Structure 1
Amino acid sequence: MISRMKADFPIAYLCRRLGVSTSGFYDWSHHVTAPAQRRHEGLTGQVMIAFAESKGAAGYRKVTAALNRARVPVNRKTIAGIMHDLGLISPAAERAFTIRYQRASRLADPVDLLLRNFTSLSVGTILVGDITYIHTREGRLYLATVIDLASRSVLGHATGARMTTQLITRAMNMALETGHVKPGAVFHSDHGVQYRSKRFTKYCGRHGIIRSMGAKMQCWDNAAAETFFSKLKSESLNWQTFTTRRKARTEVINYVHHFNNVRLHQTLGYSTPTERLIKLTLAA
């Protein structure tokens, strides 16, 4: 009783009330707690040895199993508590915790607002985008695009040596500078890390752009953006070898101009994206 109440009352007061000598209580307390303390100290040393023998890779489950194999009866909770107090954590467990924390703190991905319906009657209300790369002897050249779904015009594009969030924001900046992107426009993409980044999320929020994403690992959910890359590669890039990124960049710029202003599109009634863009803009 004294052990339970000593946090609230002085020990000398409790001993007087219960008719027990103070020295007697301390002698009894020493005899009771000493074995438990000695066992804890012994376990602590054994835990440190087991953890060291695993080269710092074992978690509390494996340390518990190792001690049980050595005929030391102990449960996981006790070992977990000791390892926590000692600050013993394996690199694998630390990485797992970091990944779980990152996943928990990451913003939720946008929902799919298109559901593979790649039609739009109004210019600048639904945009699609993606990233691809082009082989050069200097290394990869990455290309990001922003395409208007109503006219199929490539409103924005950007190239760079690295696949970064800045690459897609540069492409979006070009699209915005055309003046065709409407407030509240939907931008649809895949689940690339650049499109899921906090930086791009804030960028879209500042410019009044609503984000949309298809399902993971489903290329058909972003087929309109993929189609442009397919045409670019089959009609221009696949039969060329680029010694520098600069030459590949020039070819991309030339093809975008050709795609928008010269190439006839069957889905547009054999008109060009620019012709379609002008027609829809005048009709609005």
Structure 2
Amino acid sequence: MLLNIVGLKSSTYYRWRSLIDQSLKPIKRNEGVIPGFSYMNDKPFKKVYDIYIQKYIKDILNDEYGKFYGYKKITAVLREKYNLKINKKKVYRLMALMGVLKSERKHIKQYKRICKNHEIKASNVLWEMDTKYIYIAETRQVAYLASIIDIFDRSIISCVLSLSPNSESAKEALLKALYSRKIKGKSKNLTIRTDNGSQFIAHDFEKLCINEKITHERIPAKSPNYNAHIESYHRYFQDECLAGKLFKNFEEAEEIIINYVNGYNTKRIHSAIGYRTPDAFYTLKNSSFKDSLVVRL
């Protein structure tokens, strides 16, 4: 009634009142603003200004493996290597200001079937194996890379490059993995999971699994989600090792691939294992940290 008397719209009045209410609220310190510095963990009163943090971010991104990191992994490296007390949201904002944010991958859900849950509490319990095609440009050959990943510690424990995707290369990769983990002849609790490729359903490969008392699981047709960890690794391998490269010959391809795998195990951190490298996590398998992690698939 009063608004009608003075000829004022109710929407105008309530908008004006909300502005007045906001102006009377106490202003919180640094609300929504990057403060311009962060503190160190071991020196809580020592400030590290953002200009130096941005330099650290550039140094991480200039690394051979760090250039593929997103803001969450950059945050983990800043905390671990540079001893900074910093929030991932601030790292996101700084990287946005620098124009170095990675574009997020679009996850397209293609398969509705869900894998049966298993609890893996140790290394050398479940391995996944698959083959990746490698094109050698100058010789116009197609090579085949057989790789094995331990799904608990994310290590690539074996890889064999060959010019034929036969059972011999698959057997060589499996034997190499057994010797690498020092469980040759002691692998009765091990399960290896593959697709239905000809090299994996071959009699020779099955015979090796039986002799070593390894349980061989073959995933259902058209269900790569059952082999999700090795499929994910091959995606990163394609983007970080193969993209933009033209191999001259088999030997060059093998050398570059082996160097990448060594760096993947010793330098590249993984969020699934506490932002550690696979090698660093594997050395902690007897610690209390291992007991706190359960891999479900």
Report what 2:242 is aligned to. Answer: 237
Q: Deviations over 1:193-217 (max 9, x none)?
A: 1111111111100111101121101
**Residues 1:246 and 2:248 are matched in the alignment:** no
Where does 1:21-40 land on structure 2 (aligned, <5 Å)? none
> Aligned residue pairs: how many?
171
- Secondary structure (helix, strand or coil) at the match of 1:223 reads helix
Aligned position for 2:172 = 170
Distance in structure 1 (CA, Å) of the matches to 2:286 and 2:177: 15
- Per-residue Cα deviation, 1:14-37 (whole angstroms, up to 9, x for no partner): xxxxxxxxxxxxxxxxxxxxxxxx
1:214 alignment partner in structure 2:
219
> Any idea what the Cα deviations from partners look like across 1:220-274, whole Å, max 9, x if unmatched?
1211111111111101111111111111111110110011000000111110001
Q: Structure 2 vs 1, CA of residues 281 and 145 (structure 1 numbering), >3 Å: closer, same or farther?
A: farther
Q: Distance in 1 between matches of 2:223 and 2:191?
A: 19
Per-residue displacement from partner, 1:88-143 (whole Å, max 9, x unpaired)?
xxxxxxxxxxxxxxxxxxxxxxxxxx936576221101111000111112201110
- For the 8 Å contact 1:116–1:222, the answer to whether it is kept is no
Alignment pair present for 1:179 and 2:184: no
| Aligned equivalents of 2:206, 2:123: Cα separation in 1 | 23
Bigger-Rg structure (1/2): 1
Q: Distance in 2 between the 1:119 and 1:214 partners? A: 18
Alignment of structure 1 residues 127-276 onto 2, 5 Å:
127-137=127-137, 138=139, 139-179=141-181, 181=183, 182-276=187-281
Q: Secondary structure at the match of 1:280?
A: coil
Distance 2:172 2:196 in 1: 19
Q: Distance in 2 between matches of 1:119 and 1:263?
A: 25
Distance 2:153 2:182 in 1: 11
Amino acid at match of 2:260: Y
The within-5 A match list for 1:107-146 is: 115=115, 117=117, 120-137=120-137, 138=139, 139-146=141-148
Structure with more of its chain in helix, by fraction: 1
Q: Are the aligned partners of 2:193 and 2:218 in contact in 1 as well (CA < 8 Å)?
A: yes
The answer to whether the 8 Å contact 2:121/2:152 transfers is yes
8 Å Cα contact 2:125-2:190 kept in structure 1: yes
- Contact 1:145–1:154 (Cα < 8 Å) also in 2: yes
Unaligned runs of 5+ in 1: 1-113
Compute the TM-score of the two structures, normalised by the length of structure 2: 0.55
Contact 2:193/2:219 (<8 A) preserved = yes
Partner-residue secondary structure (3-state), 1:253:
helix
Whether contact under 8 Å (2:196, 2:218) holds in the other structure is: yes
Q: Which amino acid aligns with 2:174?
A: M
Cα distance in 1 for partners of 2:116, 2:155 equals 18
Q: Contact 2:115/2:225 (CA < 8 Å) preserved in 1?
A: no
Cα distance in structure 2, aligned partners of 1:147 and 1:153:
6
Can you give the 5+ residue segments of structure 2 that lack an aligned partner in the other structure? 1-113, 291-297
The letter of the residue matching 1:147 is I
RMSD: 1.9
Taking structure 1 as the reference length, the TM-score comes to 0.57
